[in-house]
Amino acid sequence: MTSGTHADTSAAAAVLAAARESRRVADVAEAELLAHVLAWAELHVTEDPDTAETWGDTPVLLGGEGVPWIREFTITELAAGLKLSPAAARSLVADVMELAFRLPRLWAKVQAGQVVSWRARLIASKTQHLSVEAASFVDNQVAEFAGRMGARAVENLVDEAVGRFMPRLAEEQREAAGDRRHLSIRHDRPSYAGTVFIEGELDLADAMDLDAALGTIAEGLKEQGDEGSLDQRRARALGELARRQFRFRFRYDDDTGEVAPHLVEEATREPAPGRPSRSVMLYAHLSAEAIGDHVHGSESALLEGDGGQLVTLDTLREWLNVEGDVKVTVRPVLDLNANLTSNGRFASPFLREQVQLRDRTCAAPHCARPARRLDLDHLEPWDDPDEGGPPGQTNSGNLAPLCRHHHRAKTFTDWDYSQLYPGVFLWTSPHGLRFLTCAGQTVDLD
């Protein structure tokens, strides 16, 4: 049975053909981009990294053994030109150098349009720790099959190369296998609903104990009236476990031989000795209209962090509406357009706070590092008044937050910038690219 008219079928076929052509053009363009990145890197190769200044434009090795060294700050301009963060640009250059100099057969396949760029970069990202011989082995193995290999197959091949050509590294990896244990909680990137992502790797025994404890607490929450799903109750159980609001003993089961935690007393809101029931430090920015119970919970508050995160007011109220000690600090409103001045070279806490709130992130193009952890740079370099410099150089109009990388790039290369309005910066790169930046946003003027 068929559906649709002949005209519908023809139109669908035309759309599909157009989409395939767009995909082909995009793949060709990606391969060309990698070739341009290689040409840019080769224009900035340095032959003598040992004699370079470690604070200036230091040579960096991006890629594995045998790849030529290049100047660090050439990556800065490339990143801005391609609308990438410096970290993303370093990753791109490292993958390209790895492909061109250590995986030449795979590189040729990419440039011939037989392997898509993203798949080749995936392979290159996993071979940069290999010796020259091991990388050559991988190159010979993957060149004909890269288009059909997934991430796991590539990892297996890299492991085989390590085993064949790098036995000492293979032994070190085996010895270090137990050190993979970790637990990452991305509290710097909360979702709009106020949740965060957790991932980790535990010892099997610890994981089984944690699983049993969460199950026990989740069941206790259900008995107390929590109507959430099992997954939701297990997630809440982690917070309860962290705050030690449940008391456990461990019981040995004679029948199964297992040791499992079990709840032996009712939940209590009493915190553990010397610890608050909840300890959270947040910087939340709200308008005057957003403060008060009459405001609908769908309104938002801005949390400081990597790029800034929005959460609902209901979520913010829920975090604050807990039993136990909650400390809330309300800071005075700062006029972000005022021109404040500090005596001396370093900004006062009040001036630093103003600049950080005004700019939010690093003021350089396409850099989203939070301003609170960065340097404050004098746009016009500091000139000591005791040696003839003018007074009042440390002021709102002459300060901007810069990460250490962009601070060094501005100091040691031909990057230049000025502040057009409070928090609005005009940047010019060494090769004449121009950018406007404001509160973490970048506009490419070219």
Q: How far apart are CA 385 and CA 393, in angstroms?
A: 9
Comparison of pLDDT for 194 and 53, the residue scoring more = 194
Q: Which two tokens stand for residue 177?
A: 């296998």
* Residue type for position 289: E
Give the torsion sign (CA, 351, 352, 357, 362). positive
Pair 168, 225 in one domain: no
Pairing of strands 248-252, 259-263: antiparallel
* Residue type for position 359: D
Starting from the edge strand earliest in sequence, which strands make up the sheet with 300-303, in order?
284-285, 300-303, 309-312
- pLDDT per position as a tens digit, 47-96: 766 655 555 678 899 999 999 999 889 899 999 999 999 999 999 999 99
Angle, alpha carbons 126-140-68 (nearest 5°): 60
Partner residues linked to 442 by β-bridges: 437
Q: Which two tokens stand for residue 168?
A: 């000492």
Pair 288, 428 in one domain: no
pLDDT of residue 376: 93
Q: How far apart are CA 259 and CA 254, in angstroms?
A: 9
Q: How far apart are CA 39 and CA 304, in angstroms?
A: 39
Which range of 185-189, 264-268, 305-309, 336-340 scores highest in mean pLDDT? It is 336-340
Which three-class secondary structure string do you get for 273-294? Answer: CCCCCCCCCCCEECCHHHCCCC
Q: Which of 360-364, 390-394, 405-409, 416-420 has the weakest average pLDDT? A: 390-394
Pair 429, 345 in one domain: yes
Q: Each residue of 349-373: b (16+ CB within 10 Å) or e?
A: eebbbbbbbbbbbbbbbbbbbbbee
pLDDT(148) > 80: no
Of 412, 418, 382, nearest to 400 by C-alpha is 418
Report whether 183 contacts 198 (CB < 8 A): yes
Let me know if residue 85 belongs to a domain.
yes
Of 150, 103, 147, nearest to 124 by C-alpha is 103
Report whether 44 contacts 70 (CB < 8 A): yes
Pair 127, 188 in one domain: no
Of 209, 238, 263, which residue is a domain's last?
263
CA distances from 342 to 2, 107, 345 (A): 77, 55, 8
Pair 64, 162 in one domain: yes
Let me know if residue 313 belongs to a domain.
yes
Confidence of residue 102 (pLDDT cuts 50, 70, 90): very high
DSSP annotation of 361 reads B
**385: domain range?**
341-444
Partner residues linked to 419 by β-bridges: 425
Q: How far apart are CA 221 and CA 267, in angstroms?
A: 9
| pTM given for the model | 0.72
Q: How far apart are CA 432 and CA 418, in angstroms?
A: 14
What residue has token string 């790849």?
67
Of 177, 197, 218, which residue is a domain's last?
177
pLDDT(302) > 90: no
Report whether 243 contacts 271 (CB < 8 A): yes
- pLDDT per position as a tens digit, 229-270: 888 888 888 888 776 654 445 454 555 555 455 544 444 444
Pair 242, 385 in one domain: no
Let me know if residue 336 belongs to a domain.
no
Pairing of strands 416-421, 424-428: antiparallel
Report whether 313 contacts 295 (CB < 8 A): yes
What mean pLDDT is predicted for residues 351-357? 90
Confidence of residue 1 (pLDDT cuts 50, 70, 90): very low
Pair 399, 258 in one domain: no
Q: How far is CA 427 from the centre of its chain?
A: 24
pLDDT(36) > 90: yes
Helices (H) and strands (E) in the chain, counts: 13, 18
As a whole-number percent, the residues of the chain with pLDDT over 90 amount to 37
pLDDT of residue 170: 79
Let me know if residue 6 belongs to a domain.
no
Pair 411, 312 in one domain: no
- Using CB atoms within 10 Å of the CB of residue 386, give its burial: 0 to 12 exposed, 13 to 18 middle, 19+ buried: exposed
Let me know if residue 4 belongs to a domain.
no
- Domain count of the chain? 4
Let me know if residue 271 belongs to a domain.
no
Pair 169, 317 in one domain: no
Mean pLDDT, rounded, of the chain: 81
What residue has token string 């970069």?
121
Pair 119, 90 in one domain: yes
CA-derived radius of gyration, the chain: 28
Q: How far apart are CA 445 and CA 427, in angstroms?
A: 10
Three-class secondary structure of residue 428 per DSSP = strand
Let me know if residue 1 belongs to a domain.
no
pLDDT of residue 149: 75
Pair 300, 208 in one domain: no
Q: How far apart are CA 339 and CA 267, in angstroms?
A: 54
Q: How far apart are CA 337 and CA 212, in angstroms?
A: 55
Report whether 216 contacts 248 (CB < 8 A): yes
Of 238, 263, 288, which residue is a domain's last?
263
Pair 135, 199 in one domain: no
Let me know if residue 14 belongs to a domain.
no
